[in-house]
Amino acid sequence: MFRAIVLGGLTADASNLLQAFYQPLHFPDAVVFDPFMGSGTTVGETLKLGARAIGRDINPVAYFGAKNALTKHSRERVVETFHEIERDVAPSIRRLYHTRLDDGETADVLYFFWVMTLWCPSCSGRVDLFSTYLFARHAYPQRYPKARAACPACGAIEVVRYDSDCTTCTSCGKWFDVRAGPAHGAKAVCPSCTYTFPIAEAVRRRSGPPDYRLYAKLVLMADGSKAYLRATADDEASYADAVKRLAVCADPYPIAPIQGGHNTDQILNYNYRHWHELFNGRQLLGLSLLAERIRSVDDPALRELFTCLFSGTLEFNNMFASYKGEGTGAVRHMFAHHILKPECMPIEANLWGTPRSSGSFSTLFRSRLLRALDYSQAPFEVRLANTTDRQSSYRVYDISFPLGHHVAGCYSEFDKGERLYLSCGASARTDLPSESVDLVVTDPPFFDNVHYSELADFFHIWQQYVLGSRSRDVVVSTRSANEVQSSDPVQFTGRLLEVFLECHRILKCDGLLIFTYNHSRDEGWQAVLDALVGAGFIVVATHRIKADMTGATPKQQANDPITLDMIIVCRRYEERLVLHITSDRAVSDAIVSGEGQVDRFTARGRQLSRNDVRMVVMAQVVKSLSQQGARTTSVTSLAACRAAIELAIGRICAVLDRQGLSRQADHGVA
Distance CA(319)–CA(325), nearest Å, equals 17
Name the DSSP letter for residue 212. E
CA distance 254 to 470: 7
Measured CA to CA, the distance from residue 531 to residue 515 in angstroms comes to 13
Give the H/E segment covering residue 540: strand 537-546
Q: 47 near 420, Cβ under 8 Å?
A: yes
| CA-based nearest residue to 273, from 179, 214, 209 | 209
Would you state the pLDDT for residue 665? Answer: 39
Look at the chain and count its residues: 670
Helix, strand, or coil (residue 264): coil
Confirm if 215 and 232 have CB atoms less than 8 A apart: no
Q: Which residue has the higher pLDDT, 602 or 303?
A: 303
CB 309 within 8 Å of CB 369? yes
Which pLDDT does position 389 carry in this prediction?
Answer: 64
For 575-609, letters b (16+ CB in 10 Å) and e give eeeeeeeebeebbbbbbebbbebbeebbeeebbbb
The answer for residues whose C-beta is within 8 angstroms of residue 167's C-beta and 6 or more apart is: 149, 158, 160, 175, 176, 178
Pairing of strands 347-349, 106-119: antiparallel
Q: Which of 171-185, 235-249, 447-461, 512-526 is the least confident region?
A: 447-461
State residue 560's pLDDT score: 66
Residue 659 has pLDDT above 70, yes or no: yes
Q: How much is the pLDDT for 554? A: 46
| CB-neighbour burial class of residue 291 (10 A; exposed 0-12, middle 13-18, buried 19+) | buried
3-class state of residue 419 by DSSP: coil
SS3 427: coil
- Predicted confidence (pLDDT) at residue 590 exceeds the cutoff of 70: yes
**Are 649 and 610 in contact, with CB atoms under 8 Å apart?**
yes
β-bridge mates for residue 33, sequence order: 54, 440
CB-count burial class (<10 Å; 0-12, 13-18, 19+) for 476: middle
Dist. CA 510–CA 503, nearest whole Å: 13
- Per residue in 604-630, pLDDT (tens digit) is 888 888 889 888 898 998 998 888 865
| Whole-number Å distance between alpha carbons of 469 and 247 | 20
**Residue 232 contacts residue 216 (beta carbons within 8 Å):** no
Give the integer Cα–Cα distance in Å for 542 and 615. Answer: 11
Return the pLDDT at 234: 97
The C-alpha atoms of residue 583 and residue 117 are separated, in whole angstroms, by 59
Angle ∠(228,234,235) on CA atoms, nearest 5: 50
Whether 436 and 31 have beta carbons less than 8 Å apart is answered as yes
Going by pLDDT thresholds of 50, 70 and 90, the confidence category of residue 669 is: very low
Q: Mean per-residue pLDDT for 123-149?
A: 95
Q: Do residues 43 and 70 make contact, with C-beta atoms less than 8 angstroms apart?
A: yes
CA distance 368 to 376: 12
Determine the distance from the C-alpha atom of residue 328 to the mean position of all C-alpha atoms in its chain, rounded to a whole number: 18
pLDDT for res 474 = 55
pLDDT at 381 over 90: yes
Query: Across 362-376, 380-394, 474-488, which has the greatest mean pLDDT?
Result: 362-376
What's the alpha-carbon Rg for the chain, to the nearest Å?
27
Mean pLDDT of all residues in 279-284? 98
In which band, very low, low, confident or very high, does the pLDDT at 670 lie, cut at 50, 70 and 90?
very low
If you average pLDDT over residues 88-105, what whole number do you get? Answer: 96
Pick the closest to residue 515 from 14, 15, 34, 17 (CA basis): 34
Q: How confident is the model at residue 524 (pLDDT cuts 50, 70, 90)?
A: confident
